[in-house]
Amino acid sequence: MAHAPDILQAVLPQGMDRPSRRPCGDPLLLYAMPGNETRAQAMALALQGKADVRVMASTVHAFPDGESLVRVVPPPPGSQAVLVCSLNQPDARTVPLLMAAGTLRELGALQVGLVAPYLGYMRQDIRFQPGQAVSARLYARLLSAHFDWLLAVDPHLHRIHDLSEVYNLRSSVLHAAPRMAQWIKARVDKPLIVGPDDESAQWAADVAARAGAPVVVVQKTRLGDTDVRSTIPDLHLHPGRTPVLIDDIISSGRTLVAALDHLRAAGSPPPVCVAVHGLFAGDALSVIRAAGAAQIAVTNTVDGVTAPGVETIALDADLALGVLDLCSAGCTQTSASPTEGLQP
């Protein structure tokens, strides 16, 4: 990822200028899927005075046989419906989400958008072994068929360079680097930004530039899901600095643990770990702490990160502004004459 000049990077159809932040469908309705209620409320608060925004109820009832029944408050005809649903644990969340989107459209919503702060299924972006599903592309087709637009926070873009390569809808990417850099500047004296592997280099370089700090990147070899070997650059070139490990996703935590082990062996001060998405699968949090992390901070893209000692970096106000951009763009596109050449 190149150094992003804006916190929000929108992908609009060719020939369309960025609209003023004024949604055309009144009111703007935020439907929080289960677990996303706090996020939707915070977004609505950030939009006060900017739009007629309301937080609407949506429920998912689980039957004993594993099927679900989704219910939403019917939207007024012509309104903008926005489903708020972070897509960690996507297998359990996707079917109810798609049912909610289809129901809102059937009931008269002008457009149906999706705010997915964590966008799942982006890491399997090629066929690593014969017969494997390329999950990123297949999941993109599924969501694209049900939504008019998508807003996500720093999806795991590696071999896929832009969401528009796989998603057939309008999309925006919210970059967490500005907020992460603010957090580091406020809490870490003389930071040294450390990327724990090659894939993290893009986030590490962006955060380092914004925080005015030097950056180094660890060379990683992954031998298995939880077996990672790392080689760290010479830290003596940056004396007196506190290492701050930057990554996009903390899942198993083993990438950070390998880097933490090397930093400890090199005699560095206790490192700080900062990530965009805190999935904390299994024992990830405990092994990161045991490896010597002095502080851990993640953005609030994933609900339920409430462990003591883990700080969260709020992105709700930025997500709210992103929603206004996408709703306004959609209204411009919907109202345009076909002769204007705007393509979905």
Q: In order of start, what are the domains of the chain with their CATH numbers?
A: 8-176+316-340 (3.40.50.2020), 177-313 (3.40.50.2020)
Measured CA to CA in angstroms, residue 100 lies from 59, 68, 81, 317 at distances of: 9, 11, 10, 24
Q: What are phi and psi of 60, to 5 degrees?
A: -130, 115
Two tokens, residue 154: 């720093």
Whether 174 contacts 319, CB under 8 Å: yes
Two tokens, residue 101: 């989107």
pLDDT tens, per residue, the chain with 344 residues: 334 434 554 444 333 344 445 555 578 999 999 999 999 999 999 999 999 999 999 999 999 999 999 999 999 988 999 999 999 999 999 999 999 999 999 999 999 999 999 999 998 888 999 999 999 999 999 999 999 999 999 998 878 889 999 999 999 999 999 999 999 999 999 999 998 888 788 889 999 999 999 999 887 666 665 565 667 777 778 888 999 999 999 999 998 998 899 888 888 899 999 999 999 999 999 999 999 999 999 999 998 677 777 999 999 999 999 999 999 876 654 433 222 322 23
Strand 53-56 vs strand 28-32: parallel, antiparallel, or unpaired?
Answer: parallel
172: helix, coil or strand?
A: strand
Two tokens, residue 313: 């970096």
Q: Return the pLDDT at 201.
A: 83
CA-nearest of 138, 96, 146 to 120 is 138
Report the distance separating Cα 221 and Cα 236, nearest Å: 23
Two tokens, residue 191: 């930071």
CB < 8 Å & 24+ apart, contacts of 131-138: 136/160, 136/166, 137/166
Strand 272-278 vs strand 242-250: parallel, antiparallel, or unpaired?
Answer: parallel
Residue partners of 299: CB distance under 8 A and separation at least 6: 117, 153, 176, 179, 180, 275, 276, 277, 278, 312, 313, 314, 315
Q: Return the pLDDT at 297.
A: 96
Two tokens, residue 136: 């990123």
148: helix, coil or strand?
A: coil
- Residue 209 neighbours by CB distance under 10 Å: 14
Q: Per residue, what are the HEC states of 184-245?
A: HHHHCCCEEEEECCHHHHHHHHHHHHHHCCCEEECEEEECCCCCEEEECCCHHHCCCCEEEE
CA-nearest of 326, 318, 10 to 172 is 10
HSE-CB of 310 using CA atoms within 13 angstroms:
22
Q: Return the pLDDT at 178.
A: 97
- Residue 310 neighbours by CB distance under 10 Å: 18
Rg of the Cα trace of the chain?
21
Q: What are phi and psi of 219, to 5 degrees?
A: -90, 125
Report the distance separating Cα 169 and Cα 93, nearest Å: 20
Per-residue exposure over 278-294, b if at least 16 CB sit within 10 Å of its own CB, e if not: bbbeeebbebbbebbbe
Instruction: Give every strand in the sheet of 111-116, ordered side by side.
Output: 8-11, 170-174, 149-153, 111-116, 80-84, 28-32, 53-56
